Amino acid sequence: MNRLKKLSKYQVFWPIVIFLLILLVNGIVSGGSFFEMRIVDGHLYSRIIDILRNGSKLMLLATGMTMVLATGGTDISVGSVMAISGAVACTIVAGGGNVAVAILVAILAGIVAGAWNGLLVSKIKIQPIVATMILMVAGRGIAQLITNGKIVTVNSDAYYFINGGYILGLPFPLFIVAFVVLLVMLFIKKTAFGLFLESTGVNPISSHFAGINVDRIKWMVYTFCGMMAAVAGLIESAGIKGADCNNAGLFIEMDAILAVAIGGTSLNGGRFSIPASLFGALIIQSITTSVYAMGVAPEITQVVKSIIVVVICLFQSKAFKESIAKKLNFRKAVKQA
């Protein structure tokens, strides 16, 4: 019992529990077929693998978004950056270009987009929501201009491999996620960067006086977030075998922010946990998959997700907790304010 109490102190504990619960409910509802695993042509097939594969984009976005939110910022341009990266890669591949070159250029485009956001936020000091909204709206336009307003389709097995490939019987996107997360975790845990990041989020001014280069930290995390969005965009476009600038990554920014919120990272900045956000992403993906499987209209999930975000934020809010605890009425709250 004591050990369980200790475990539950970890930020990642509750997201894992919720994820397992959702899987369990799915398993019971489907009468066990949910957990079936089949091996066809040496590839592992199962609903859980599907969730992991489809959730890989969101896991990448959540990794970048966690760090941005940890600084107390936000990045709502990730969906558009996904569209740009897909548009760049598909235009190059469709034009007969090398797939490796296409991938590199697409990731570079994401880095440039992220660095632009970082510049606006850290140097010019625009509110993160406005700074990234510029790219959210204009980015989709830029993607349209790259593809000339058309849907570009690609015909390349090497490119399809990014989403549909298998290594050792497991889908390739999982290896991308594992690789990225491993690198990031090493960087955060083995260097002082993670500490600086948390400190920036808790109090940027005192961090600055403590000798931390707050601007550079912010710039780095926005750039990284752009890069993650580009990789997610590659996976998405490889999945649909083309670039659809209107719909690629549309409305995904909410999912990414929600994944981080479910993971328990405060949206006000400060303490963060990337593993917890990854499970947050898996929770969202499993809910989305279950909703489809149960035949509920997928539009409702958008409504439900937005409500969940607000509820999570309310429970993170000190003022809300206090008002519940003391059952303060409005008038007293006004006086306090």
Partner 1 sequence: MNGQKAKKKFSIKNISLLITVVLFIVLFGAASVAYDNFFSFSTLFNLLNDNGYLIIASIGITFVLLTGGIDISIASTIAFTCVFSAFLLRMGVPPFVVIPLVLLIGLAFGALMGFMIHYYKLQPFIVTLAGQFFMRGMCAVISTESIPITNEFYKTMALSKITFLGGRIYFYVFIAVAVLIVALFVLKLTKFGRTVYAVGGNEQSAVLMGLPVARTKVSVYAISSFCAALAGVVFSFYTLAGNSLQNVGLELDAISSAVIGGTLLTGGVGNVIGTTVGVLIQGVIQTIVTYQNLNTWWTKVTIAGLLCVFIIIQRLIAIRAEKLKAAG
- Shortest gap between Cβ of 337 and partner 1 (angstroms)? 5
Closest by CA to 303, choosing from 251, 229, 256, is 251
State the amino acid at position 141 in one-letter form. Answer: G
State the amino acid at position 272 in one-letter form. Answer: F
Which region among 157-165, 215-223, 271-279, 317-325 touches partner 1 (by CB under 8 A)?
A: 317-325
Q: Using CB under 8 A, pick the residue from 1, 40, 168, 337 that binds partner 1.
A: 337
Q: Using CB under 8 A, pick the residue from 47, 53, 140, 218 that binds partner 1.
A: 140
Chain CA centroid to CA 229, Å: 8
The answer to whether residue 126 forms part of the interface with partner 1 (CB under 8 A) is yes
Residue 153: phi and psi, rounded to 5, are -105, 145
The answer to whether residue 293 forms part of the interface with partner 1 (CB under 8 A) is no
- Shortest gap between Cβ of 232 and partner 1 (angstroms)? 19
Give me the residue label for tokens 């993971």. Answer: 263
Q: Using CB under 8 A, pick the residue from 25, 28, 149, 169 that binds partner 1.
A: 149
Q: Using CB under 8 A, pick the residue from 120, 121, 180, 234 that binds partner 1.
A: 120
Distance of CA 32 to CAs 24, 26, 46, 77, 197, Å?
Answer: 9, 8, 12, 39, 43
Based on CB atoms, which residue is closest to partner 1, 100 or 337?
Answer: 337
Please report, as residue ranges, which positions from 64 to 83 form the binding site for partner 1 (by CB under 8 A).
74, 76
Based on CB atoms, which residue is closest to partner 1, 170 or 309?
Answer: 309
Based on CB atoms, which residue is closest to partner 1, 103 or 257?
Answer: 257
The answer to whether residue 327 forms part of the interface with partner 1 (CB under 8 A) is no
Which tokens go with 79? 């969906």
The answer to whether residue 334 forms part of the interface with partner 1 (CB under 8 A) is yes
What size, in residues, is the chain? 337
The answer to whether residue 125 forms part of the interface with partner 1 (CB under 8 A) is yes
For the chain, state the CA radius of gyration: 21
The answer to whether residue 95 forms part of the interface with partner 1 (CB under 8 A) is no
Alpha helices in the chain (DSSP H): 2-7, 13-29, 47-54, 56-70, 78-94, 99-118, 128-147, 157-164, 172-190, 193-202, 204-209, 214-240, 252-262, 274-294, 299-316, 318-326, 330-336
Interface with partner 1 (CB under 8 A): 74, 76, 120, 124-130, 133-138, 140-142, 144-145, 148-149, 251, 253-254, 257, 267-268, 297, 299-307, 309-310, 313-314, 317-320, 323, 330, 333-334, 337
